[in-house]
Amino acid sequence: MPDDVVNLTIDGVPVSVPKGTLVIEAAKQAGVLVPHYCYHPGLPVAGLCRMCLVEIEKQPKLAIACATQATEGMVVKTQAEQAKRARTSVLEFLLINHPLDCPICDQAGECELQDFTFQEGRPATRYSPDYAKRFNPVEDFGPDVLYVPNRCILCTRCVRFMEDVAKEPVLNVSERGDRAYIGIHPDERLDHPWAGNVVDLCPVGSLLSKDFLHKARAWELDKTAAVCTGCSQGCNVTLDTRENVVVRVRPRPNLEVNRYFICDHGRMNYRWMNRGDRIEAPLVRRDGELRATDWDEAVEHVATRLRGAAGRAVALVSPRASTEALFLARELLGGGGAGLDWTGAFQVVMGEEAPLPGVPDLALRAERAPNGTGAELLGYRRDYPAVLAAAESAAVVLVLDEPEVAVRTAGALIYVGTVLPEGARGAEAVLPIANVAEEDGTFVNRDGRVQRYFQAKPAPGMARPAWWVLSELLVTLRRGEHLASASAAFDVLAERVAPFAGLSYSSVGLVGQRVSVGAGVPA
């Protein structure tokens, strides 16, 4: 037996875990969730809420599962009578001053205090109905964070996040005993670029996001796994939608990329997904005017223009487009049988870099492009102005969802996008596509990690995913097969582009997979 593995039993389930694993983490592997408040896998252990008390055989007293390391032969009983009674008592203490305002609390439905009280708390208080609960007014902590001290259970996750992860210790525990509350430095605000994480970390509704305040109840939300489009880091996120409107972005744990956190830039970067001014039908130019038509005719119209074209072809793409769409756009203009001299480029918006000091290799990157690496791997160039200039004399210009485009060309301009910008009104054809929240696809982040995102809401009108539009064009030109899904499009991509060889949607999964090393990927 290797030295670095210990075997223990938790609630009768035998598990083997690496040496040094905490009992609470070992219990997760045994399928047992030990109730806890102060413990969070992304933060240093504090061991102060006393909620995770469990019985360990041959130990005289109950132990806290979050600060006890698993040892060989340990027998843990989370449901022992004594442990349950202790946890019920802890909950009773927490609820002495906790207001009964679940109906107006944003956390209701995803509140750990609610969940564990339902699970093992007392059904009623032992205090007299006349007992006046401690009351402190709501405080404004920062640009997006409100603090409701009455609901606080002093788990100090927020304090530890700001101190040990964000390394900007502006929060503390002020006062003592039952008067304690979370205090903020009088001259400081909670305006660290990653400060929004304290809202997710808060197990109760004490720290609230102003952006999400009163917007929706937790049980009305549909959750979809996605990848943040804010920068080239490619943090894993969950899109919360309510009646097909994205209302919130939350981090989705991925130990390889973003651990448990996302930055505030990514958190707020969702409103454009709900834009109402979308193109809803394909438009083709007839008698000098753009007219709405159906997909069959629009595809045929564009295919006719492409069939007759010869000479230079230019693709101006958005680094927010999926890898599948970028690949198919390249196939359309540059693939075998196109007979065109192909160049493609993408434009990257730059911003300020904002690292999260407590997590290595995690930052809001200066390059605000989720799929810049993907575009580069597929042969798109970064010298956008040069390619834009070359577009003037090109025979065909394909613009893929680049709303800032201001292109002048002598050839045919084909605009494939979600909205119709002023600069694209001279297009030969406008094909409406789904945005990131409305399609399945992949991004390649700055480390060359291919990550999938999923469809969170339906696309408006006749808009279709870009991979579908481009593959239909290829079919009409007799240069491709019908593709049934984004997964099928990715399979073709993996077959033809070397760095993606051997990858598929099922192998990429929810955590992502790196492209082959040494394929032009930044190390």
Of 242 and 496, which CB lies nearer to another protein in the complex structure? 242
Task: Write down the least CB distance from residue 99 to another protein, Å.
Answer: 12
* Residue 437: DSSP 8-state: G
Task: Write down the least CB distance from residue 241 to another protein, Å.
Answer: 16
Residue type, 246: V
Instruction: For residue 108, state whether it binds another protein (rule: CB under 8 A).
Output: yes
How far is Cα 210 from Cα 145, in angstroms, rounded to an integer?
6
**Which one of 29-37, 84-92, 217-225, 514-522 is the stretch in contact with another protein (CB under 8 A)?**
217-225
First to last CA, the chain: 36
Task: Write down the least CB distance from residue 243 to another protein, Å.
Answer: 11
Instruction: For residue 245, state whether it binds another protein (rule: CB under 8 A).
Output: no
**Burial track 342-361 (b if 16+ CB lie within 10 A, e otherwise):** bbbbbbbeeeeebbbebbee
**Which one of 36-44, 87-95, 209-217, 277-285 is the stretch in contact with another protein (CB under 8 A)?**
209-217
**Which one of 101-109, 112-120, 127-135, 365-373 is the stretch in contact with another protein (CB under 8 A)?**
101-109
**Which one of 160-168, 174-182, 212-220, 421-429 is the stretch in contact with another protein (CB under 8 A)?**
212-220
How far is Cα 465 from Cα 416, in angstroms, rounded to an integer?
10
Window 125-144: contact mask with another protein (x via CB under 8 A): -------------x------
Of 146 and 405, which CB lies nearer to another protein in the complex structure? 146
Task: Write down the least CB distance from residue 113 to another protein, Å.
Answer: 16
Give me the residue label for tokens 């160049």. 343
- Residues in the interface with another protein (CB under 8 A) total 11
Task: Write down the least CB distance from residue 121 to another protein, Å.
Answer: 17
Chosen residue from 13, 33, 46, 102 binding another protein by CB under 8 A: 102
Task: Write down the least CB distance from residue 101 to another protein, Å.
Answer: 8
CB 428 within 8 A of CB 412: yes
Task: Write down the least CB distance from residue 199 to another protein, Å.
Answer: 17
Of 67 and 102, which CB lies nearer to another protein in the complex structure? 102
Task: Write down the least CB distance from residue 15 to another protein, Å.
Answer: 38
Q: In what order do the strands lie in the sheet with 236-242?
A: 222-227, 236-242, 245-251
Q: Which phi and psi (to 5°) does residue 151 adopt?
A: -85, -5
Nearest 5°: the CA angle 512, 252, 433 is 70
How far is Cα 443 from Cα 257, in angstroms, rounded to an integer?
13
Instruction: For residue 220, state whether it binds another protein (rule: CB under 8 A).
Output: yes
Task: Write down the least CB distance from residue 181 to another protein, Å.
Answer: 18
**Which one of 17-25, 215-223, 290-298, 437-445 is the stretch in contact with another protein (CB under 8 A)?**
215-223
Dihedral sign from CA coordinates of 432, 240, 40, 15: negative
**Which one of 85-93, 98-106, 352-360, 485-493 is the stretch in contact with another protein (CB under 8 A)?**
98-106
Of 243 and 352, which CB lies nearer to another protein in the complex structure? 243
Chosen residue from 77, 217, 382, 496 binding another protein by CB under 8 A: 217
Chosen residue from 5, 96, 213, 389 binding another protein by CB under 8 A: 213
**Burial track 438-456 (b if 16+ CB lie within 10 A, e otherwise):** bbbbbbbbbbbbbbbbebb
Nearest 5°: the CA angle 388, 389, 391 is 65
Token output for 52: 């995770």
C-beta atoms surrounding 227 within 10 Å: 29
How far is Cα 505 from Cα 486, in angstroms, rounded to an integer?
9
CB 231 within 8 A of CB 443: no
Chosen residue from 2, 103, 129, 177 binding another protein by CB under 8 A: 103
Give me the residue label for tokens 């564009």. 302
Q: What residues between 414 and 433 interact with another protein by CB under 8 A?
A: none
Residue 3, classified by CB atoms within 10 Å of its CB into exposed (0-12), middle (13-18) or buried (19+), is exposed
Nearest 5°: the CA angle 149, 154, 159 is 95
Chosen residue from 1, 104, 132, 517 binding another protein by CB under 8 A: 104
Task: Write down the least CB distance from residue 457 to another protein, Å.
Answer: 19
**Which one of 207-215, 315-323, 405-413, 484-492 is the stretch in contact with another protein (CB under 8 A)?**
207-215
Of 114 and 471, which CB lies nearer to another protein in the complex structure? 114
- Point out which residues bind another protein (CB under 8 A): 102-104, 108, 138, 213-215, 217, 219-220
